[in-house]
């Protein structure tokens, strides 16, 4: 679809809400202004303590059936966090992917049977990206931990934690952790820089791009890389080894509906 859009000269966008959060906007500003320096490590991380759809008491069983959902926590939640990191890194090429998936925690047996539960609750990935960037991924519907330390990006000059948002660096030979008033900053930018409104949401951005007010972000290309990484984690689990993007593409089977 991306190739077809380029071929016919049409705009193509995906609704990736994580690219338009206040945290993403602030991180992008710090990166673009050079406050992180050369980026070399990123981590995409999100946990639920006990939040598997259907089997833990909420949501539809369609979430936990591979035949319908194709995957578990990685596809359900991970896509937004992976895409957010890829955007902030500049969507570099994927070089290799290694990953594992797990389904280990007990659940109500009657809910397992009724829901036909056959997807993962935890996915872990290690991805090598162009430019010497290492990207670590962990996504869990259920895990016996107090909570995740959140997604992060690290550079030679500083690092960012996305939630809660913070900047980490060394000044005057002293380690420093800084937080920000993102709400006040965004309100000020809205008044001073009119184009800020084009990045409040996927919908705002799509309309602004159609009107020619801003250049469309490469959400479709970021979505492709996100899917490449996600399928690569599943394939790596299946084969028990690291895989290449070429292997993932060769083995990928479309599940698109025929209309």
- Rounded-to-integer distance, Cα 85 and Cα 152, Å: 8
Print burial letters for 113-125: b (CB count within 10 Å at least 16), e (below 16): eebebebbbbbbb
Domain ranges of the chain: 16-180+216-244
Q: Which two tokens stand for residue 98?
A: 């290694």
Assess whether pLDDT exceeds 90 at residue 91.
yes
Q: Whole-model pTM?
A: 0.94
- pLDDT level of residue 6 (50, 70, 90 thresholds): confident
- Per-residue pLDDT band for 1 (boundaries 50, 70, 90) equals confident
pLDDT in the model for residue 256:
67
* 64, pLDDT greater than 90: yes
pLDDT of residue 230: 98
CATH superfamily to which 16-180+216-244 belongs: Dihydrodipicolinate Reductase; domain 2 (3.30.360.10)
What's the mean pLDDT in 184-206?
95
43-62 average pLDDT score: 94
Instruction: Give φ, ψ of 34 to 5 degrees.
Output: 85, 15
Tell me how far CA of residue 35 lies from CA of 44, 72, 127, 158, 170, in angstroms.
20, 36, 24, 6, 11
Q: What was the pLDDT predicted at 191?
A: 95
- 40 versus 58: the higher-pLDDT residue is 40
pLDDT of residue 253: 82
């Amino acid at each position: 679809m991306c190739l077809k859009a380029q071929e016919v000269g049409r705009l193509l966008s995906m609704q990736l809400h994580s690219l338009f959060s206040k945290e993403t906007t602030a991180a992008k500003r710090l990166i673009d202004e050079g406050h992180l320096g050369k980026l070399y490590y990123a981590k995409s991380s999100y946990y639920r303590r006990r939040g598997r759809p259907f089997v833990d008491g909420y949501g539809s069983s369609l979430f936990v059936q591979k035949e319908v959902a194709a995957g578990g926590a990685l596809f359900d939640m991970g896509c937004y966090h992976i895409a957010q990191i890829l955007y902030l890194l500049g969507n570099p090429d994927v070089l290799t992917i290694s990953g594992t998936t797990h389904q280990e925690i007990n659940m109500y047996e009657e809910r397992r049977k009724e829901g036909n539960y056959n997807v993962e609750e935890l996915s872990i990935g290690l991805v090598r990206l162009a430019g010497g960037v290492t990207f670590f991924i962990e996504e869990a519907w259920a895990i016996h931990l107090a909570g995740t330390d959140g997604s992060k990006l690290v550079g030679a000059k500083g690092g960012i934690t996305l939630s809660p948002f913070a900047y980490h660096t060394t000044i005057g030979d002293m380690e420093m952790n800084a937080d920000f008033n993102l709400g006040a900053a965004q309100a000020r930018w809205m008044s001073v820089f009119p184009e800020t409104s084009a990045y409040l949401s996927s919908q705002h951005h799509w309309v602004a791009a159609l009107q020619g007010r801003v250049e469309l972000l490469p959400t479709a290309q970021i979505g492709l890389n996100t899917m490449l990484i996600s399928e690569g984690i599943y394939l790596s689990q299946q084969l028990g080894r690291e895989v290449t993007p070429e292997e993932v593409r060769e083995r990928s089977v479309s599940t698109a509906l025929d209309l």
